[in-house]
Structure 1
Amino acid sequence: MKTLKVIKIGGKLIDDSVAMESFMQDFKAIKEAKILIHGGGNLASSMARDLNIPVKQIDGRRITDDATLDIITMAYAGKINKNLVAQLQALGCNALGLTGADGNSIKSKIRDKNPIDFGHVGDPENVNTDFIQLLLDNGITPVFCAITHDGIGQLLNTNADTVAADVCSAFAKAYSTQLYYCFEKQGVLRDVNDSDSLVKSIDKNEYEKLKSEKVIADGMLPKMQNSIRALDNGVSSVHIGLASMISNSDDHHTTLTL
């Protein structure tokens, strides 16, 4: 079975030009079928400040009202997405920048407004694998930002980790799928301040143990929940760590399997 690698990069990596240059070289060098999914970095927040649009949050989670959605669309689907595509094209990787609305790639359902109304926020419910496969078959590398749509005209802000997990899961029957979450740490750390405390491999039992010990908590918890869900949906393996892991399978990072 052929391999498909779905690689998600976070905002802090995007904001680091030196790290991104190295990542782009490594991504371009991947010979297997690949899909890139990206977050937004600090651009949306800085644009909102420049335009005097308040950033609204509840428990650290962004509220996406009409004005915020406009900002996010400009930042994620516009500047960030097209810059990534331009960089890949310069390296000879024929990339195409997309939102979930393009080709009806990723359709989402707006999140329930009770108990908290997060505004124009959606959770994926369908991935159009036929369209994405058409791109892959023609040597085109999809580059998705984390904006999807509801199918009736509304764009939706969507969690990039969730998008990556759902896209990877959707191809699990056709490929041996590998999901990579690239961020600023080496992986799951027993002590967030000690890079030598890396947990190199995690299965479901270890996941529950680490969660009960509060090793997996805060921002790492939703990433791990998406990882376990992807594995349950047929993804072969999930890898969490520094972006360098995509070029070196022996690099220090966390690997999750069932």
Structure 2
Amino acid sequence: MIIVKIGGNILDNPERLQSFLADFAALPGPKLLVHGGGKIASAFGQRLGISPKMVEGRRITDAETLELVTMVYGGLVNKQVVAKLQALGCNAIGLTGADANIIPAQKRPVQSIDYGFVGDVAGPESINVDALGAILEAGLTPVFAPLTHDRQGNMLNTNADTIASVLATALAPKYNVQLVYCFEKKGVLQNAEDDDSVIGHITTEKYKTLKAEGVVNAGMIPKLDNAFAALSQGVQAVQIGDAAAIAQMAAGGGQAGTLITL
């Protein structure tokens, strides 16, 4: 079972997206895709006069922004990806966490920052594995938008990396799960300015060192935190790398990207 999260500059680049989806559709066995779409939501919001509100790189989701991301993530991006996969012979089904109650979440409590309608998933135990398993066993490929719900009738904007990690850990008792984070870089980089400075393998100890030295920072930290959380809860392998190398990463063994192990 392979779970792939796609984000970065792939979704808004038609050629790279088409190439990635062709490779994803060709992967054998059961698979699941989680997508982001923040750049597309920001661009669409500008057309509607809604400016993104960001604090420390994270989107503040007020009521107006929630409507925007629900439309863009759950509608525009999700259905375009599903339609493209259908054209490639992959029988995909587009989902949010609200569908079949697969991913309930809690609205993030207000502390020093009010993130608005942002959802935090309690953990793999909260995932409706029976419903998700039935979809997979029907031969369908789920494509998840980064949206959850609070069981009170409200949608919640939720980090796509987190959704991929939690789905992976929830399915780990049932499948031999491999989690792959795809974006526009070749992997975790030693030098952010050098695309070829890929760190081939990161263990828990090496991660502590890289953080202390400031080699990994900003958006890469939550991605790696999610990777290690998944590994600690039964996921077999996690890799991070270029969407163009999804076939090599899916083959395992650290052939491409950055391999993450405990």
TM-score, normalization: structure 2?
Answer: 0.94
**Offset, 1:251:** 4.2
Q: Which has the higher strand share?
A: 1
Tell me which residue corresponds to 2:189: 189
- CA deviation digits over 1:46-94, x for unaligned, max 9? 2211111232222222110111000001100001000000001111111
Q: Distance in 2 between matches of 1:231 and 1:32?
A: 21
Match of 1:230 in 2: 230
Once the two structures are TM-superposed, the CA of residue 41 in structure 1 deviates from its matched residue by 4.2
- Asked if structure 2 preserves the Cα contact closer than 8 Å seen for 1:15 and 1:41, the reply is no
Q: Which residue of 1 aligns with 2:102?
A: 105
Distance 2:3 2:153 in 1: 27
Q: Does 1:6 align with 2:10?
A: no
Contact 2:8 2:184 in 1 (8 A): no
Q: Quote the Cα distance in structure 1 between the aligned partners of 2:14 and 2:47.
A: 22
- Cα drift, residue 202 of structure 1: 1.1
Q: Give the deviation of 1:195 after TM superposition.
A: 2.6
Separation in 2, partners of 1:58, 1:189:
25
Superposed structure 1 runs of 4+ greater than 3 Å apart: none
In 2, are the aligned partners of 1:244 and 1:251 still within 8 Å (CA)? no
Query: Who is 1:140 aligned against?
Result: 140
User: Residue 257 of structure 1 corresponds to which residue in structure 2?
Assistant: 261
Q: What are structure 2's unaligned runs of at least 5 residues?
A: none
Give the SS at the match of 1:14.
coil
Matches within 5 A, 1:79-228: 79-125=76-122, 126-228=126-228
How big is the alpha-carbon RMSD for the aligned residues of Structure 1 and Structure 2? Answer: 1.2
Give the residue type in structure 2 aligned to 1:254: T
5+ long unaligned stretches in structure 1: none
Secondary structure in 2 aligned to 1:217? Answer: coil
Aligned equivalents of 1:226, 1:41: Cα separation in 2: 19
Q: Deviations over 1:74-123 (max 9, x none)?
A: 10000100000000111111100000000001011111111211000011
1:190-212 deviation per Cα after TM superposition (whole angstroms, max 9, x unaligned): 11112332111111111111111
1:54 to 51, 69, 72: 51
* Letter of the structure 2 residue corresponding to residue 54 of structure 1: S
- Alpha-carbon offset, residue 33 of structure 1: 0.9
Question: d(CA) in 2 for partners of 1:199 and 1:43?
Answer: 29
Cα contact 2:147–2:155 (8 A) shared by 1: yes
Count of aligned pairs: 255
Query: Secondary structure of 1:107's match?
Result: coil
Aligned identity (percent) is: 47
